[in-house]
Amino acid sequence: MTVLRAGSATDVGRTRSVNQDSVLTAPNLFVVADGMGGHAGGEVASSTAIAALDQAQDRVGSDEQLIEAIRVANEAVYRASVENSSLAGMGTTVVAACLVSKNGADVLTIANVGDSRGYLLHDGVLTQITRDHSLAAEMVRNGDISEEEAATHPQRHVITRALGIEGTVEVDVFSVVLAEGDRVLLCSDGLTNEVDTEELTRALGAGDDPHAVATDLVRRANANGGQDNITAVVIDTVLADEPVPEPTQAHRVVTTATAAVGPDRPAGAATTAATGPAVVVPDESWIARRRRLGVPRLLTFRVVLFALLVAGVLWGAWAFLKWYATSSYFVTSQGNAIVVYKGRPGGVLWFKPELVTVSSTPVSGVLPSRRTVLSQDVVEPSLAAANQYIANLAAEFQQAQAPQPSAPPTTAPPKVTTTTTGASGATPIAPSTTVTVPAG
């Protein structure tokens, strides 16, 4: 006859305002559930699962019955999330342990969904029994990252299985053959994220009272940060021939109806995954698992392509608008000044015209008939064209102001000076002379 003593502790932690973890320590069923979901979702999910399992505590004599109880709990959480829109999407992890009889021996069956864990402390060695259903843990199992990298991986909190997400759930189960003195820990990730394996081993090996040990574990998680809700259930293995303490709230005594575990039981504790269809170790990627869980993919190739296309069209429209709004110039009058603006008269949307130059030609320097035109805006294709337009107005005005060229000019004829080039004083060129050089 195997006898278990259990104690538990749960705490909101140091940063969360609500404890979304729930815990059950029934005579032969121990459960930790870590709820998640907005508003009250997380609390409701974990407490709904725990309530459903509490109902089933007398019917968990085999692996199949424990799995069935967890499936019923899943349906209860799922139904609540479907029926109440404010609870939509809520979910909860679960790790549960109960004694079952196998081939006449008592073994502890541990079942899990999500990243709440079951550990065994045997002869001072701590072994993790369960396998997390989280992205980081699956990456470790696939060899993509190391255990150390997983501890700080940004997606270590993303779980790939939970109760309440869909109508059915896969449950992993593990069988632990217990030896006297063995200690089992069930906990939420709020404990294991704060307390490393070494400290966990030390704390679990330190005290006799499982309730005190559970409380000490929670205290350590808080001392190390307390970033999440923290829950620990510590289950001790004692045999029936040992004195059993009085049951209290903290010490729960469990007696199974099956035969005692004999001394011929394999030395030490063996942990084996239970056989049969219950053990599901699907060899699938986390993407496939997310799909199966119904987690919608946010980024597909088509979504990316569509986004790029929309961005391209928007950019093109913006570029054209900017070109249209700023490519031309216009000339206009402001008071007595003639100015040139870059842009379109009145602006285009948020592209306002910019003052480029104030001409040296004032409004009074152009013909009155042109002033009316100038009070409107005269659009020119370039700055040079705009300046030329003003120059033309000024020239036109000056021409009008200048004395009429048709008036007779001064009567005096222009004095014409002619320069003659010639050889009036030039020396006649002498005829060439022949120089005779006397010979000899």
Contact with Mn ion (CB under 5 A): which of 63, 106, 182, 189?
189
Contact with Mn ion (CB under 5 A): which of 11, 170, 194, 228?
228
Least Cβ distance, residue 116 to Mn ion (angstroms): 8
Q: Which residue, 19 or 81, is less far from Mn ion as judged by CB?
A: 19
- Three-state SS across the chain? CEEEEEEEEEECCCCCCCCCEEEEEECCEEEEEEEECCCCHHHHHHHHHHHHHHHCHHHCCCHHHHHHHHHHHHHHHHHHHHHCHHHCCCEECEEEEEEEEECCEEEEEEEEECCCEEEEEECCEEEECCCCCEHHHHHHHCCCCCHHHHHCCCCCCCECCCECCCCCCCCEEEEECCCCCCEEEEECHHHHCCCCHHHHHHHHCCCCCHHHHHHHHHHHHHHCCCCCCEEEEEEEEEECCCCCCCCCCCCEEEECCCCCCCCCCCCCCCEEECCCCCCCCCCCCHHHHHHHCCCCCCCCHHHHHHHHHHHHHHHHHHHHHHHHHHCCEEEEEECCEEEEEECCCCCECCECCEEEEEEEEEHHHCCHHHHHHHHCCEEECCHHHHHHHHHHHHHHHHHHHCCCCCCCCCCCCCCCCCCCCCCCCCCCCCCCCCCCCCCC
Give just the sign of the alpha carbon dihedral 259, 264, 269, 271.
Answer: negative
Least Cβ distance, residue 241 to Mn ion (angstroms): 39
Least Cβ distance, residue 202 to Mn ion (angstroms): 23
Least Cβ distance, residue 228 to Mn ion (angstroms): 4
User: Do 139 and 150 form a contact (C-beta atoms < 8 A)?
Assistant: yes
With CB under 5 A as the contact rule, which of the stretches 4-12, 185-193, 249-257, 296-304 interacts with Mn ion?
Answer: 185-193
Least Cβ distance, residue 157 to Mn ion (angstroms): 8
Least Cβ distance, residue 229 to Mn ion (angstroms): 6
Q: Which residue, 34 or 380, is less far from Mn ion as judged by CB?
A: 34
With CB under 5 A as the contact rule, which of the stretches 160-168, 221-229, 348-356, 369-377 interacts with Mn ion?
Answer: 221-229
Least Cβ distance, residue 187 to Mn ion (angstroms): 10
Least Cβ distance, residue 21 to Mn ion (angstroms): 7
Q: Which residue, 154 or 431, is less far from Mn ion as judged by CB?
A: 154
Q: Which residue, 172 or 228, is less far from Mn ion as judged by CB?
A: 228
Q: Which residue, 34 or 106, is less far from Mn ion as judged by CB?
A: 34
With CB under 5 A as the contact rule, which of the stretches 200-208, 220-228, 246-254, 273-281 interacts with Mn ion?
Answer: 220-228
With CB under 5 A as the contact rule, which of the stretches 39-47, 66-74, 148-156, 227-235 interacts with Mn ion?
Answer: 227-235
132 binds Mn ion (CB under 5 A): no
Least Cβ distance, residue 2 to Mn ion (angstroms): 30
Pair type for strands 271-273 and 91-92: unpaired
Amino acid at 62: S
Number of residues that bind Mn ion (CB under 5 A): 5
Ranges within 255-294 binding Mn ion (CB under 5 A): none
Q: Which residue, 13 or 353, is less far from Mn ion as judged by CB?
A: 13
Q: Which residue, 134 or 333, is less far from Mn ion as judged by CB?
A: 134
d(CA 116, CA 71): 17
Ranges within 13-42 binding Mn ion (CB under 5 A): 34
With CB under 5 A as the contact rule, which of the stretches 198-206, 228-236, 277-285, 387-395 interacts with Mn ion?
Answer: 228-236
Q: Which residue, 190 or 210, is less far from Mn ion as judged by CB?
A: 190
Least Cβ distance, residue 162 to Mn ion (angstroms): 11
Q: Which residue, 46 or 74, is less far from Mn ion as judged by CB?
A: 46
Q: Which residue, 122 or 131, is less far from Mn ion as judged by CB?
A: 131
What are the Cα distances from residue 271, in Å, to 108, 118, 165, 259, 421?
10, 12, 29, 20, 130
With CB under 5 A as the contact rule, which of the stretches 10-18, 203-211, 222-230, 318-326 interacts with Mn ion?
Answer: 222-230
Note the residues at the interface with Mn ion (CB under 5 A): 34, 188-190, 228
